[in-house]
Chains A and B, each alone.
Chain A
């Protein structure tokens, strides 16, 4: 059923006019009044950093928080391949409408049309802004911007800065942010971890953070709170995320009433370096852009253990080119990942573990020469060589899918506000734009779109249309939240058990990967739903968290995040269980087409599943936002 809690507030009118019309209809805060408002921004990645900088430029009083030692370290920095924009600089048929269409289709018809259209519209402004900041995008010889192709699209619309696009875009936002810090508009709080959201009279009015250096529990009050705290990929332990990425801020907001939407939509990236052993702390992505020139294959015969160079052409199966002739190696990520898994399940995987496929550059090197390949992908090849001790110019890369991005997140309306008034959520932390599968080069686009071009308008509207009596950190709600935080810290330190935090996290990851991973079934999910609470109990009875709460204590930080994951994982599995259809990155074995593609069930599942917290270990309440497709008619996705 649809819920009164879920008014998406999508403006009326034709889709192409909605945002312009909404911009006109929204209330404004006059320039002199902006400095009277304080806005908290948690996170300094592409979404948080760009939001904090933009709100500072507008004149708001901004408090910006991050867990790292500097805002420049946020994990957006690791994005490699590029950022999409509907510039049509290549004259190859791109348009705002086509980017919108590709994104809705790529998301397997599980995203909100109006949000996606706005994203496509604003994509062109992002490139302009970043160029003006001095981001060194790749250029053609005539001095104009270069583009490359990415999965899920038949046009070249991806802008890039070598294999470090995320880094360069993030540094652009970071520099704008530091300029605002210098001018006093933004106050920066590094090495602070948000551990609770403070709600006063039903509105988000502040946060509680732990100062990671001194251990002090600090209180900050504001007129609105923006979370841009990234995704929850590390619930799988091994992922391409940074080791400090976590769900804690979003989860604590969820426990205060913010609805969590579509947690089962997780993206498994097809081109990562395979796992090498138990000691491994993270997986490394090889950019999807490699699929422009690399050809994916496995041996035709099961158990063919010959080295790749000894396997002749006729014994190789270029399965993506064979099965999807029009998109070939550039099918979307979910399709590429599932096919790699199928090849390995079929006994045709390569490498020692049998859990890898080849990504081969031999033909591209023969065609354009090693120098051209080096210029395009040099840093990626180097990274691969360092990790595996193999030379990808000489032998094919071995790749395997890994958890990379999470499409689910806190539920937000068209204004990027959660169901808790005043709590706004941007970037990967929200659920809004990518449906059940994100296309490559669209995460950077969404993060910057939300921060530079959406929130500066919508937050003004919220502030101008809401009564916000002054609240200070002496308010009881702050005291209650700070006590709550302190209590949980004390609990963690008091267990004094014998099990390592990492060991338990690794075990959680194994449950998630085996039972809630690339292919899920009612049976595997039910199993996970029994194993997760058992592991959570074990954690709270037998974890060892050494050290003191009064100084830098990385064990304590880590334990707090794993404790939250042990609660959140259950919600993820539950969401996956209730959605008995397959869509995008969520593949239910019970729901597939005869040739093994994800089979949606639009009659029963064309909705956003937004969950309301009811207590740890208690079944959450499900709210549904019906998805309406006026523009792009849902069909069985085909990339053949």
Chain B
């Protein structure tokens, strides 16, 4: 099949970007979306033209590196799917497809479709962990965790940190990302000691990095490739309220 692509090209962080037209010929329905871009890039490279920059690494939906907005939707049309797991059989012959980077103040464009998501690392650095050093851990089975709680923690921990939630949110809020980590650690016994300080520190960091607030529209949940529910945000809000009452 053949597709008409409109791809965002931007030389650097300060340059003005624009959508550039590319034709994608001989697209196989079994190709992944990124493999389709690989083919276009291979053509550009052979012609000595600058290839389209985009991020990807594992190409199996777990590293969180790929980050394209396809026809206005982060990660494209399939629910619960990263771009790297999106296949061309989802598109129709002759279709026009627009490809843009994540757009958010806290995620500045580096080049073309590549953005800087280091703000996510700073949010985790602010408190997204259990503060233990190697060496002092008790026996694994000394900390029993009910199956239900372990499953609940795992549901939240499944977040891959891709940032689609931010890209989809009109406020460019990092609430879904943050709340997933906060929820994981607040339901587990290991996370109790720092339960109040963690939520306060992480939210403060997100504010400092220019992420917006949450207005409960749920776009984040709709595009999350790991289908992390917004109930995590509700939990984070409760944790925050709890911390405020605890005087943190």
Interface residues of A (CB under 8 A from B): 50, 53-54, 57, 68-75, 77-78, 87, 89, 125, 127-134, 136-145, 161-162, 164, 166-168, 171, 174-176, 178-179, 181-182, 188, 190, 213, 240, 242-244, 276-277, 279-282, 284-285, 382-383, 386-387, 389, 452-453, 456, 496, 498-503, 544-547, 551-555
Contact = CB atoms under 8 A, between A and B. Distances in A.
A70 B161 contact: yes
A117 B239 CA distance: 45
A445 to B, nearest CB: 14
Nearest to B133: A57
- Classify chain B: how many residues form its interface, as a range: 35 or more
B12 interface: yes
Given A182-B125, A498-B46, A132 B35 contact: no
A131 B57 contact: no
Contact of A190 (B61, B118, B154): B118
10 contacts: A87-B140, A131-B140, A131-B190, A136-B157, A137-B140, A137-B150, A281-B34, A285-B60, A383-B61, A387-B85
A132 B124 CA distance: 17
Contact of B85 (A140, A386, A503): A386
Nearest to B85: A386
Contact of B129 (A167, A178, A386, A501): A178
10 closest A-B pairs (Cβ-Cβ)?
Answer: A143-B144, A175-B129, A132-B137, A128-B137, A178-B125, A136-B153, A182-B125, A139-B150, A136-B154, A131-B140
B111 A551 contact: yes
B146 A174 contact: no
Contacts of B12: 551
B157 A168 contact: yes
Contacts of A141: 146-147
A502 B140 contact: no
B247 interface: no
A72 B59 contact: no
A242 B59 CA distance: 7
Interface of B: 11-12, 28, 30-32, 34-36, 38-39, 41-42, 44-51, 53, 55-65, 78, 80-81, 85, 87, 89, 110-111, 114, 116-118, 120-121, 124-126, 128-134, 136-141, 143-147, 150, 153-154, 157-158, 160-161, 184-185, 188, 190-191
A578 B190 CA distance: 52
B129 A89 contact: no
Residue from B44, B138, B154, B190 with most neighbouring chain A CB atoms (10 Å): B154
Given A136-B188, A139-B144, 15 more contacts: A89-B141, A136-B145, A143-B147, A164-B62, A167-B62, A175-B129, A176-B134, A383-B85, A386-B81, A387-B87, A452-B134, A502-B42, A503-B46, A546-B50, A554-B53
Given A164-B62, A277-B28, A551-B111, A139 B145 contact: yes
A277 B42 contact: no
Contact of A162 (B31, B55, B154, B185): B154
A242 B129 contact: no
A48 B42 CA distance: 32
B116 to A, nearest CB: 7
B137 A129 contact: yes
A393 B117 CA distance: 37
Contacts of B44: 546
Contact of B48 (A140, A168, A496): A496
Contacts of B62: 77-78, 164, 166-167
Contacts of A386: 78, 81, 85, 87
A485 to B, nearest CB: 21
B128 A175 contact: yes
A280 B35 contact: yes
A70 B120 contact: yes
A134 B190 contact: yes
B30 A277 contact: yes
B154 A182 contact: no
B45 A188 contact: no
Contacts of A382: 80
A244 B129 contact: no
B146 A139 contact: yes
Contacts of A89: 141
Given A143-B144, A242-B59, A552 B48 contact: no
Contact of B144 (A132, A144, A496, A547): A144
A58 to B, nearest CB: 8
Residue from B81, B114, B125, B126 with most neighbouring chain A CB atoms (10 Å): B125
A176 B124 CA distance: 10
A199 to B, nearest CB: 30
A243 B57 contact: yes
B45 A77 contact: no
A383 B86 CA distance: 11
Contacts of B150: 136-139
B46 A544 contact: yes
Contacts of A284: 59-60
Contacts of A545: 45
A71 B121 CA distance: 8
Contacts of A174: 124
B137 A68 contact: no
B134 A546 contact: no
Nearest to A79: B62
A546 B62 CA distance: 30
A161 B46 contact: no
Nearest to B115: A69
Contacts of B53: 552, 554
B45 to A, nearest CB: 5
A399 to B, nearest CB: 15
Contacts of A547: 50-51
